[in-house]
Amino acid sequence: MAAAVSIQGLTKTYLDVWSKTEIRAVDNLTLEVEEGEIFGFLGRNGAGKTTTIKMLLGLIFPTLGTATVLGKPIGDTDAKAQVSYLPEEAYFYEGMTGWDTMDFYARLFRIPEPKRSERIRQCLKDVFLDESAWRRPIRGYSKGMRQRIGIAQALINDPKLLFLDEPTSGLDPIAHAELREIIVNVGRQGKTVFLSSHQLPDVELTCSRVAIIHRGKLLTSGKTQELTAGDKVEITFSGGDAALAEKVKAVAGTCEAKNGTCRVPAVDPQKVNDIVDLIRGAKASVVSVVPHRRTLEEVFVDTVMKAGAN
Amino acid sequence: MTASTRRNLIAAIVVLFALTVVLQVRIDPTVADMNQGRKTPFAGLSTEFILGPLLGMQQAVAGLLWVRADEFFHEGDYDAILPMVRIVTWLDPHNLDVYITGAWHLAYNFTDSSERSDRRYIPAAQKLLEEGDANNPGVYDIAFELGWQNTDKIKDYVRAHYWYKKCAEERKGMDERGELTQPVPMFVWHQLAHSLARLGRIDECIAVWRKALAMSTEIVRKDPKDYSKRNVRDSERHNLELTLKRKFSRYQHEIDWELDGKLTKGIDPITGEPRPRDSYLFLNQDEIQRKLEQFKIVGETPPPMAVGQPRPPAVVPKWETAFDVRPTFTADKVLELKGRFNVGDGARVTIRLHDEDWRPPQLKEFTFDIDQNVTLMQDQHSVRQGTWGRKIDMSKDPKMYSFKSPYYFLVFEFDPRGTSPFVHDRFGWSGEGMTDKKYLWEEKEKDPPNRILRKVYRISRAQVLRRTPITEADVFPTAKYVELQTQAQGTRSE
Amino acid sequence: MVTLAIAKQTLEDMLRRKILLILLIVAVAMIALGPSVGFLSPRESSAVLRSLGLAVILLAGLLITVLTGIQVIPTEIERRTVYTVLSKPVQRYEFVLGKFLGGLFTVFVMIASMGIVFIGVLRYQEGRFATEMIQGVMMTFFQMTLLGALAIFFSTFATPVVNFFLSFGLFIVGNMSAVTESLLNNKNVATRLIAGAVHYAIPNFGNFNIQNKLIHPQVVIKDMNVFIMQNIAYALIYSAVLLLLAIIVFDRREV
Ligand SMILES: Nc1ncnc2c1ncn2[C@@H]1O[C@H](COP(=O)(O)OP(=O)(O)O)[C@@H](O)[C@H]1O
Ligand SMILES: [Mg+2]
């Protein structure tokens, strides 16, 4: 599969006027985003996520390194026509109505009428923006409505690749969930999504791959599943006598019995077969063998803490 | 943007910029025309008035300033008006009223405690008007004002005539859109005729009256209901008749010449049509005879002349004026005059006192900075029953009469050209009949020549301050005085 | 099309600004009240009325142009709306041109409205259409075109406050063309050089002041139409220079 985004050694330094020191907002970042995946770009505030995205869009210029977007160098108009961007906080021309805003952006994509109106209608519906709001100035929109119209403008050109910079921050739980659903839908349509966030549960639910950056540096990247995969397994069984429990305990270290059900919380993967044999040998029944999973949050905190310690 | 795109853009910028420079060079001359006479003032302006002019809003600012100047005028604060006049004319060199009013202030409104004008400002007044005229080519108003000031205030009829002639022949009036499409008003022609009379050029004067009358006749024909236009025409007719009448009475030797021509035949000299004889005072032969006898003819009577022949030299009755004056300083800087003058009541003697080295300055450029050290006093007094007397107190106005110079000329003059018709009746327009044993001075350089009376004293500051009295030994030869005045003027104007 | 879309959006955005509307209302009121200040001598009252009208249009046009020119681009950056625009297939030069044109449309709408009121007032006052005043209003517009291009150029690297003083300052200096022109023949070489630099390098706003001719028709200009065409050409070419410079600077501008 071709890379939707390919970043090689991208670096952005700012000069801090006050301390006369160099700030490396992005530091030698190398990254690939495959076509069709929802990619989570994780980092704390100030890690360099926005800076990276802005470089990829040609809004600011890298100090070092190169990148391609949809196979084209940064700033290429053909690539831009198939890309869209939802900035960290969606900014609009406050006096314009939602419809006019969409119309303006559609014109920037050179979408002719009547296709333009069709697209606008479609996108506004896709983001569940209440139709009564279409002809009202954005000045009066709530945060959630702004975010919807932000996504809608990002969909207007039916893009191949979307850059969404912290799209869910500051939303109430319901709006949050809806937005997540929109993003998943977008992913289902085969579009590539470059999602910057520190809302880890969202990312965990939506992204197939993530990268974690910290102070501009890439700490780790990989499939979400692989990153969250734990090194222990939890086994639950029912039946069996106290002797079985003792045997299991001898192998696994712990065995908690409760109401005729025993739980072995953390088993080394190598010992799973032995324990299952024990259980089956005792004619007890295995209820579940569940691989232990960490939450992404745990992975993130772990990784970042480790990096901080170094 | 690639490096080569960038290079091309920079090349384009250089080329386009060069184009703007070329255009600017083309535009400059027209901008200069556009700003004829306008200067950009910075000094002496409050900030509220600086920005406007800089942004090309001169006229608006000038208008507002002029309103302020008007307030000063009503408060009698003439000194404050002058800088305003200067600035307003810089801002808006086309505001005619500002030049005219400003020059009027300069020439008339600076006076000593006896209401004598400060004549040191007159060159400035003239220069301001000349500047205004130059800045408004083709407009009659300022040229007319120049004529008027030279007639009324300065009594320089040569220059008055110069301006009136320019005004009548080369200038136009503005229509309501401000465009120069209108003929000058008839009073310009009238003043031109009067100025010719003041120069003794009576035939030309008559010609102008005829021309004016012809024009007015045409105007009335087009608009017969307009009474003011008819009034103008009638006054022209009257003036023409009066001038002809006076010409005949004053130069009676020419009467034959004119009589042979038209008048005795009862032909209207203007239209060539026959007309009732009594229209003209002198159409009556008896009357002419009586007039002829009124004056004793001195010298030979020229032979009768045929129509169309050139005028004979003027010969008019001689009249001894017995002009003289005795000046005394009765107190410091207080001059008392006692004079004789055998002339009709009301003729005016001009009195002038000025620094020995003072000349009428030739200003290159308008300025209202005058030399405060110059003393220049001019006054007039009219004669009653052959005598006149006057007390001129110059002690109360040290600013005008500083008496800084060690020597002064004190001049007494009578110029028949500025005088009234009844005096002309006696002497002719150019003093042809005037004789005086002591003080007659012929201005031969004038055309026609003029005969004036002039007595000049050269006095010292000690005499002004009464250390020594003025005697007849201080009388200074007029010829030398005239030479001094003209000579130095020549050197100054270089 | 992209440029025009940006221009249209800019115009609509500017027309929503209250400050510009207030300026317009005040200016129109002043023009309409113009006849009441014509209390000078009758000969001059028409001159003052015309001068005042042109002056008000110039002054209001000036404020509108500067306020528009200095903020159309910085506002985009400050409000970060520029992100959504420049991340789309929009070339940076299209953005600069669109913003400039939008500002210019704004200035045009404002000046045209004032001009119409002005000519209406003159019509009422003098009983005829003072068509020659259209020239004056038009020249003001082109003067403002140039000033707008200047402000746009500065706005690609200067903050609005700095830009305000820069643009205003250069406008005033550029209006002293009569002074700089006269200094071109100065005896002092240094003076001559500085005057020359100022005269030819700084946009010569003084060129456009034709009020003198309009108010006093007796001022003789060889060929008014040629002069006007030259000035329009000057405004357009110089504006092009400034816009190209703005495009070059903005191309490397981080937003
Ligand atoms: N224009 C700038 N000048 C100086 N420092 C900047 C600038 N933009 C970003 N930074 C710094 O770069 C770092 C990364 O910022 P950013 O990319 O916005 O982080 P994130 O989006 O991950 O929260 C921060 O430390 C920030 O202060
Ligand atoms: Mg960010």
Would residue B117 count as lying in a domain? yes
Output the furthest CA–CA distance in chain B (Å, rounded): 110
Count of residues in chain B: 494
- A150: which residues sit within 8 A by CB, 6+ positions away? A86, A87, A90, A92, A167
Residues B60 and B11 reside in one and the same domain: no
More confident residue, B69 or B18: B18
Could you tell me what percent of chain C has a pLDDT over 70? 95
Residues B354 and B333 reside in one and the same domain: yes
Split at pLDDT 50, 70, 90, the class of B255 is: very low
What value does the mean pLDDT take over residues B167-192?
90
Q: Which domains does chain A have, with CATH numbers?
A: 3-226 (3.40.50.300), 230-293 (3.30.70)
pLDDT at B53: 59
- B303: which residues sit within 8 A by CB, 6+ positions away? none
C-beta of residue C79 within 8 angstroms of C-beta of residue A72:
no
Q: State the nearest Cα–Cα gap between B1 and chain C, in angstroms.
A: 7
pLDDT at C221: 79
What value does the mean pLDDT take over residues B39-62?
54
Instruction: Report the 10 Å Cβ neighbour count for A236.
Output: 17
Residues B88 and B101 reside in one and the same domain: yes
For the CA of A216, the closest atom of ligand 1 is: 14
pLDDT at B313: 42
pLDDT at B338: 93
Q: How many domains does chain B have?
A: 3
B322-345 confidence digits (pLDDT tens):
899 999 999 999 999 999 998 878
**How many Å apart are CA B282 and CA B275, to the nearest integer?**
14
More confident residue, C161 or B256: C161
pLDDT at B44: 37
- B43: which residues sit within 8 A by CB, 6+ positions away? none
pLDDT at A300: 86
A48 lines ligand 1 (CB under 6 A): yes
pLDDT at A205: 85
Whether the pLDDT of residue B229 is over 50: the answer is: yes
Would residue B151 count as lying in a domain? no
pLDDT at B284: 44
Residues B6 and B128 reside in one and the same domain: no
pLDDT at B38: 54
**Final residue of a structural domain among B77, B111, B136:** B136
Whether the pLDDT of residue B308 is over 90: the answer is: no
Would residue B364 count as lying in a domain? yes
Tokens 């009676």 sit on residue? B252
Instruction: Report the 10 Å Cβ neighbour count for C231.
Output: 23
Q: How many domains does chain C have?
A: 1
C-beta of residue C218 within 8 angstroms of C-beta of residue B179:
yes
Residues B374 and B479 reside in one and the same domain: yes
Residues B19 and B90 reside in one and the same domain: no
Residues B11 and B118 reside in one and the same domain: no
C-beta of residue A58 within 8 angstroms of C-beta of residue A15:
no
A41 touches chain C (CB under 8 A): no
B68-77 long-range Cβ contacts below 8 angstroms, 24+ apart: B69/B98, B73/B101, B73/B105
pLDDT at B198: 92
Residues B20 and B44 reside in one and the same domain: no
pLDDT at B259: 44
pLDDT at B257: 43
Whether the pLDDT of residue B303 is over 60: the answer is: no
Question: What three-state secondary structure class fits A280?
Answer: helix
- Atom 24 in ligand 1: residue holding the nearest Cα: A46
Residues B370 and B441 reside in one and the same domain: yes
Split at pLDDT 50, 70, 90, the class of C39 is: low
Distance (Å) from CA C159 to ligand 1 centroid: 21
Contacts of A109 in chain C (CB under 8 A): 88-89
Q: Is the peptide bond before B29 cis (omega within 30 degrees of 0)?
A: no
Grouped pLDDT means (10 residues each) for chain A, 310 residues? 88 88 92 94 93 95 95 92 90 93 96 94 92 94 90 94 90 86 90 91 88 92 83 82 83 81 83 86 85 82 78
What value does the mean pLDDT take over residues C107-116?
96
**How many Å apart are CA C135 and CA C212, to the nearest integer?**
12
pLDDT at A19: 79
Would residue B257 count as lying in a domain? no
Q: Say yes or no for a CB contact (<8 Å) between A108 and C80.
A: no
Instruction: Report the 10 Å Cβ neighbour count for B442.
Output: 12
Q: Which residues 65-84 on chain B approach chain C with CB closer than 8 angstroms?
A: 66-67
**Domain of C178?**
2-252
Output the furthest CA–CA distance in chain C (Å, rounded): 62
- Atom 18 in ligand 1: residue holding the nearest Cα: A50
B34-45 confidence digits (pLDDT tens):
766 554 443 334
pLDDT at B309: 40
For the CA of A51, the closest atom of ligand 1 is: 17
ipTM reported for the complex, 2 dp: 0.90
**How many Å apart are CA A196 and CA A212, to the nearest integer?**
10
C69-97 confidence digits (pLDDT tens):
999 999 999 999 999 999 999 999 999 99
Nearest to A77 among C85, C91, C254 (CB): C91
pLDDT at B248: 66
Q: Which of A108, A110, A161 to mutate to test the interface with C (most CBs of C within 10 A)?
A: A108
**How many Å apart are CA A90 and CA A164, to the nearest integer?**
10
Split at pLDDT 50, 70, 90, the class of B286 is: low
C-beta of residue A243 within 8 angstroms of C-beta of residue A257:
no
pLDDT at B253: 44
**Domain of B20?**
1-33
B19 touches chain C (CB under 8 A): yes
Whether the pLDDT of residue B264 is over 50: the answer is: no
- A249: which residues sit within 8 A by CB, 6+ positions away? A255
pLDDT at B302: 37
More confident residue, A56 or C131: A56
Would residue B203 count as lying in a domain? no
